[in-house]
Structure 1
């Protein structure tokens, strides 16, 4: 296929995914908001701000000009945070080729509209569902950039597009699978950020493996309930975009959401935790509110999400989290 792949967003995950596709033999142009960062990536072959020490391959170049990044791009990968997706894409939409595949790396649900990222992309660009793909899975950027073996899921209603994207990012260390369940893939990615916050809080409070396993398992259950209400395939949550992403995000210190939650659990304020994040976005802090509202709209009970929302936005003490969850009314593990 003629042309190149544009990756818009030079944070850690955008840069890591751009590296994957360049390692797969594709020509990649990475857009960075700051001109100095774009120049450093092209000239020094390193994104020292987000992935220091990682050598970037020659097929990857960078620019701060979105026109240069998008001109002739047959695939556009969107690596910006979920809550800024609409704003950024509005500025770029007129520059995107009318048949380009649009790929979301963002994991979240938009505040206000309660839309998933593929829905936001469709809103802004007018693209049909068959042109929009989603990437999700146990994809901690630093480990991928270091070429540690991992797998991911590419979800698209158009199977052929998913396969084309699969071929564009298959390397000796990165193995993508394809599915058509976009809804399940997106919900798994968005909700795991919230559950990772709860696991971080539990760790910061000094709780051990039993507590973390409980939060992960029951977090997956509430994610699956929301998915069922929105028409997702239940099996998606047992795969890489569900369980796989959840385990990585809830257990690794590289997870921004887990790390943010741990700071809260240790007694830091929201402001202190945000300051310590040094500009890195913990998506679950905002998405917990939109996911909570989406669940309420569909009559789905999500107690862990509810508690995380209360901690992040209502001043609820993380130390009271265990009591709030354990003290709920007893019931069967699986509803009949």
Structure 2
């Protein structure tokens, strides 16, 4: 298969490596000739995935038409807020038969649309599916076991992507709940920032377990209201990715929470990071969705208040614990 990967971050690079290892003709798009030449010369992405060498079958190019030419699959692996812009660049060169795989975990701030919806709007003739799950790039690069989920309303598309990605160490499942898989992947980043704060303040394992569990309840509640399946949030894209992101030392969103707990300003933290912590803009988008849909999401609300409204951490904790008594399931 001919496969194009749009995005040279850690996950985009890892997907390109994985697909090349699987025997496919993988072409990774770099934004500049300078970046493409550097990656081709070094045969590794030292900025984001140092020490993981590129297979011979992997080509890096800044020539977008060349990267997309004759592609059977196109993986869009860019920050969520840049997906629409990248899709507009892709559109004139996208082969009509190509399956587009959305890999960004976020919600577009200006429209509150999912990433697959954005891609469908900009690539009107494309067949779009979603890849998500608890997938840390460096672990997959090291050959450690992992699982992913591919979601599409068209089971044939999901199975095709599943077959493309399956490897001896990566097990891929299919799903038909596209919205649920996307919402779970986006919302878990907000909860992970809060979990990082819990860890940074040394609030204990009881608090962290409660925080993650109640965060999952909020994710599920919003998903059901928007038309997703409840069980999706108990699967790989939901609970699986949530646990991974809340506990991993490699999680950017957990890192943001830890640093906020240490007293650093959000702008300073973001400036120091090479990659985007998607939970920061998603906290804003999730809050807007909760308000619009009249859904109670107290954890999302407090994370939003801390990140974007300057609320003090202790005040946010106090407000969460002082809420009126409720049944666990409502």
Asked if the contact 1:224–1:234 (Cα under 8 Å) also holds between the matched residues in 2, the reply is: yes
More displaced 10-residue stretch of structure 1: 208-217 or 280-289: 208-217
1:234 aligns to 2:241 (yes or no): no
Partner residue of 1:322 out of 314, 317, 326: 317
Offset from partner CA, 1:265-310 (integer Å, 9 cap, x none): 1110112211221x31000101111111112111111111111111
Shift of 1:89: 1.1
Aligned ranges 1:255-274 → 2 under 5 Å: 255-274=251-270
Q: State the distance in 1 between where 2:19 and 2:129 align.
A: 15
Asked if the contact 1:205–1:319 (Cα under 8 Å) also holds between the matched residues in 2, the reply is: no
* Runs of 5+ unmatched residues, structure 2: none
CA RMSD of aligned residues (A): 1.2
Q: State the distance in 2 between where 1:169 and 1:53 align.
A: 22
Shift of 1:100: 1.0
Q: State the distance in 2 between where 1:269 and 1:226 align.
A: 29
Shift of 1:37: 2.5
Offset from partner CA, 1:207-256 (integer Å, 9 cap, x none): 22111111110111000001101111111111100000000000111000
Q: State the distance in 1 between where 2:18 and 2:291 align.
A: 38
Q: State the distance in 2 between where 1:61 and 1:147 align.
A: 21
Offset from partner CA, 1:74-127 (integer Å, 9 cap, x none): 111000000111111112211101221011110001002000000000111113
1:252 aligns to 2:248 (yes or no): yes
Aligned ranges 1:94-173 → 2 under 5 Å: 94-127=92-125, 131-173=127-169
> Match for residue 292 of structure 2?
297
1:213 aligns to 2:209 (yes or no): yes
User: Secondary structure of the residue that 1:178 maps to in structure 2?
Assistant: strand
TM-score between both structures, scaled by the size of structure 1: 0.96
Shift of 1:161: 1.1
Asked if the contact 1:121–1:127 (Cα under 8 Å) also holds between the matched residues in 2, the reply is: no
Q: State the distance in 1 between where 2:323 and 2:20 align.
A: 50
* Runs of 5+ unmatched residues, structure 1: none
User: Secondary structure of the residue that 1:69 maps to in structure 2?
Assistant: helix
Shift of 1:319: 3.0
More displaced 10-residue stretch of structure 1: 94-103 or 29-38: 29-38
Q: State the distance in 1 between where 2:31 and 2:64 align.
A: 9
Tell me the matched-pair count.
Answer: 330
User: Secondary structure of the residue that 1:151 maps to in structure 2?
Assistant: strand
> Match for residue 32 of structure 1?
30
Shift of 1:70: 0.6
Q: State the distance in 1 between where 2:306 and 2:63 align.
A: 39
TM-score between both structures, scaled by the size of structure 2: 0.97
1:183 aligns to 2:179 (yes or no): yes
Asked if the contact 1:41–1:61 (Cα under 8 Å) also holds between the matched residues in 2, the reply is: no
User: Secondary structure of the residue that 2:129 maps to in structure 1?
Assistant: strand
Q: State the distance in 1 between where 2:289 and 2:63 align.
A: 36
Offset from partner CA, 1:182-222 (integer Å, 9 cap, x none): 01100000000000000011111122211111111011100
